[in-house]
Amino acid sequence: MAKLNYWTDKWDLHVDVCPCDVHVNEWLAEQKATSKLIYHFGTGTHHVIGKEQAENGSGNMVFGITASIEEYDAYVKLVASNARVAKSYVAYFGDIYLTNPKLLPDFDVVTMLHLCEFFYPNTASADYGGIDDRGLLDLFTAKTRPGGHILFYTKSIAFDKVRPILAKWETEAPVARLGEFKTLAVYRKT
């Protein structure tokens, strides 16, 4: 039986080092996004997307995943002390590469900010049962509503691996590249 692949570290908010979550919030504000259902890949201990969207009056709801026990513990502490956040932000602990699409609703916005960053050598093995990064992207493209958006972090530590996946995905998936917003590449599902 395979053990779950998880990250043995945590990511605190360092805007000068990794501003992508802050830029997602700024993009949502610029879009005047309201009552949107957002899937967020990689919460960080700061939970800045879920917290901001829960508190800013937008009515946006965030469903986030973390593969870090420390980040999940930070989520539990956050919502235990702030019921308002708990009402519209849910984070779960797990390996995104094991995602079962039957357990997910359709989303208006999907952040694939950390695509290619957490794939382990055994992830797509028969024993572990995960999917690869392109399979993950296809899964979440299918779970994005038509007209919805998929966001990528262009300064990701693995963006050199993401680029060729995006190049092929752009020609095969029902998506259109809208351009960039700060450190984000923005796509719309057609």
68/41 Cα distance (integer angstroms): 12
Residue-range domain boundaries for the chain: 21-189
Predicted confidence at residue 3, as pLDDT, reads 87
Predicted confidence at residue 121, as pLDDT, reads 87
Predicted confidence at residue 17, as pLDDT, reads 47
| Mean per-residue pLDDT over the chain, rounded | 94
Predicted confidence at residue 7, as pLDDT, reads 73
The average pLDDT across 42-69 equals: 96
Lowest mean pLDDT of 71-75, 77-81, 94-98, 123-127, name the range. Answer: 123-127
Residue 24 φ then ψ, to 5°: -60, -45
The structure tokens listed for 24 are: 């997602």
89/87 Cα distance (integer angstroms): 6
Predicted confidence at residue 116, as pLDDT, reads 96
Q: What is the pTM of this model?
A: 0.94
Q: What is the CATH number assigned to the segment(s) 21-189? A: 3.40.50.150
Enclosing H/E stretch for 108:
strand 107-111
Would the pLDDT of 171 be above 90? yes
Q: 36: pLDDT confidence band, cut at 50, 70 and 90? A: very high
Residues written for the chain: 190
